[in-house]
Amino acid sequence: MSDVTTSTGNGGETHQQASGDAPVLTTNHGVPVGDNQNSLRSGERGPTLLEDFVLREKIFHFDHERIPERIVHARGSGAHGVFEATDDISDLSKAAVFTKGEKTEVFVRFSTVAGGAGSVDTPRDVRGFAVKFYTREGNWDLVGNNIPVFFIQDAIKFPDLVHAVKMEADRAYPQAGSAHDTFWDWASLMPETTHMLMWAMSDRTLPRSLRMMEGFGVHTFKLVNAEGKASFVKFHWKPRLGIQSTIWDEALKLQAADNDYHRRDLWEAIDTGAFPQWDLGIQVFDQDFAEAQPYDVLDATKLIPEEDVPVRLIGTLTLNRNPDNFFAETEQVAFLPTNIVPGIDFSNDPLLQGRLFSYMDTQKSRLGTTNFHQIPINAPRCPMHNFQRDGLMQTHVPKGRANYEPNSLAAHGEDGGPRETPAGFATANAATGPGEQGDKLRIRAETFADHYSQARLFYRSQDEHEQAHIASSFVFELSKVGVLEQVPPRMVANLRNVDENLAKRVADGLGIELPEKSKAAKAPVDMAPSDALSIHKNMKPTLEGRAVGILIADGTDAAELDAVIKAVEAEKARAVVVAPKVGGAKLSDGTVRKADGQLAGSPSQIFDAVAIVLSDAGCAALVKEAAAVQFAMDAFGHLKAIGASAAAKPLLDKAGVEPDAGVTDLGAAFITAAKHRFYDREPNVRTLA
């Protein structure tokens, strides 16, 4: 039965009246609407009347449908799911969420950090990994990233980090990237960023899929049992599909191919029942262990090697339902580190302590203005200078790009902004209040002074290909630094504290002399390499959850094509047939095989491996097709397996595909090869630092 009846008004507009099961259209207050096509006028051609409450409500709501985006983590993708506790840790925590067998509903939001809500999914960037547990004792929010460490040790530096990495204040570019002056100016002046920079310049910031990246709580928390005994804990999310990354050139081309690559991948996986899963792991240790380490466990720029404290898996997270409405759920969800439940507690991590304040404030700012101090009744009567800028209802017009410190902009004649003064406010250094213990100080513990040892650990834990990627990433990013010519040498000087070979490679790639090593606040020490820190050493030889692009054309052997598809699907991978025309191709047996994607819109960078199944005639046609040549060229350049029929050789030759272990025929060797990337090929296809 039709749910509407249709009629045409005097002006030809279409009116749909409710009938059958269709509900009646109303205002937000339930008043039935008789005409949703025409506003109320004074006469046929007269002015619109203010009394038209239907029009006013509709336009008013439309004008306010968007709220200010998040300052960081603006672009996100979310999903519903369930967390099931699988191990008894009642000796460590009394939290109900950890009761063995307990199932807890969750909402998870993944995000990029630097870009705005309208940016793309695949830049080199940290990924947010925030989980809201709807436990029976209240909400617990575990707000983390896909990297276990952070850029800074103290929350007071967070505004400077974000100001520096965001688009530059005077020109509003670049968007969603750190390869520019202000970020590297700031980072090179902040040695504590070095460990995180190793991770940021690695392939960890180029994930293949949100489903294939790890998550970390970053901070040291506490678990508290029923007797009140507390233990230190770090939280880990381990993806069931293993970790996988793209490479830089591939990520760049993915931006052109599909701005929503990660969002689409997550949605489609859940929509087709391939529910993403992670195991929740914990590293638990006591005060004795903490005091015995050469680093401070409360320092967010440090990790605890898994070889020292193994990760114990205690539960499984399954994402099984996509949001019903993006704005209502993914956009409006508010994660607060202060959302905590009995059995979990905070440590004195100074970065965590700062976050406990800022998140509540951040959520409120999305509903109002951060510039309430500019309202006359609130405004100071004395001069005011700081680096806080922008926000709703900003009435000041700051000039220049100095919205972070430390900076060295004044060395180039730019306004560097205000500076600290010894005469500034200082907290009274006495413990006089009830329950207070010790002095109140603005100070870093000496145990936080080692900024390079774990950066060295991370770099030396990578294999040679990952190290090459890190060096090349530094070269690319620092090559984008403009007039601040002192910044690249300063950054390389810091890198000499990490690894001499790394520093030399970066200096050579930039074409600069190797600078003198910067003075370390605390001399770095060598730590045993940790295989857990390497993507390449932890990649699973599997096709599960991956996609294989199969290029065909008229004349393709039908049996050969079917065999490839069957073999790919047997590995729980998705076989995607690509053809010059979306209608498909006429195969050798006379049948027409419809394509899943048209060649020009389905480049090889959206696949994990490719098979090229062509006849002599089909190959002769595609050799003249730039998209087909690029399809093979990019697959080879992105180090992917290429399976090809014998007739496809002219296409491979034109694309510059050279024989190696990853270039095979279409038999079993291809399926084996498709489970890997062939990093040994990379020096032959691009220049690395």
Considering only CA atoms, which of 363, 480, 403 is closest in space to residue 124? 480
Judged by phi (left if over 0) then psi (alpha if -120 to 50, else beta), residue 555 lies in left
Judged by phi (left if over 0) then psi (alpha if -120 to 50, else beta), residue 584 lies in left
Q: With contact defined as beta carbons under 8 Å apart, do 200 and 124 qualify?
A: yes
Whether 262 is a known active-site residue: answer no
Whether 139 is a known active-site residue: answer no
Q: With contact defined as beta carbons under 8 Å apart, do 657 and 681 qualify?
A: no
In this structure, the strands spanning 221-224 and 344-346 are antiparallel
Q: Residue 239: in which H helix or E strand, if any?
A: strand 230-239
Which one of the listed residues 38, 64, 145, 320 is annotated catalytic? 145
Type of residue numbered 11: G
Distance CA 438, CA 62 (A): 55
Beta strands in 615-685 (DSSP E): 642-644, 663-664
Distances (CA, A) of 5 to 55, 368, 492: 23, 44, 72
Distance CA 74, CA 116 (A): 5
Considering only CA atoms, which of 677, 530, 512 is closest in space to residue 608? 677
Secondary structure in 3-state letters for 274-334: CCCEEEEEEEEECHHHHHHCCCCCCCCCCCCCCCCCCCEEEEEEEEEECCCCHHHHHHCCC
DSSP per residue, 153-191:
SSGGGHHHHHHHHSSPTTT---SS---SHHHHHHHHT-G
Distance CA 251, CA 239 (A): 21
Q: Is 128 helix (H, G, I), strand (E, B) or coil?
A: strand
First-to-last alpha carbon distance for the chain, in angstroms, is 67
What is the phi/psi pair of residue 684, to 5°? -85, -10
Considering only CA atoms, which of 304, 302, 359, 300 is closest in space to residue 333? 359
**Structural tokens at position 81:** 């799911």
Q: With contact defined as beta carbons under 8 Å apart, do 301 and 451 qualify?
A: yes
**Structural tokens at position 96:** 């109900």
Distance CA 662, CA 673 (A): 6
> Which residues, 6 or more positions from 456, have their beta carbon under 8 angstroms from its beta carbon?
497, 498, 499, 524, 526, 527
Which one of the listed residues 28, 38, 64, 73 is annotated catalytic? 73
Distance CA 666, CA 676 (A): 16
Sign of CA dihedral 269, 272, 274, 275: positive
Q: Across the strands, what pairs with 6?
A: 16
Type of residue numbered 480: K
Distance CA 316, CA 101 (A): 11
DSSP per residue, 342-378:
TTEEE---HHHHHHHHHHHHHHHHTTS-S-GGGSTTT
What is the phi/psi pair of residue 606, to 5°? -90, 0
Distance CA 146, CA 126 (A): 7
In this structure, the strands spanning 103-112 and 127-135 are antiparallel
The residues carrying an active-site annotation are 73, 145
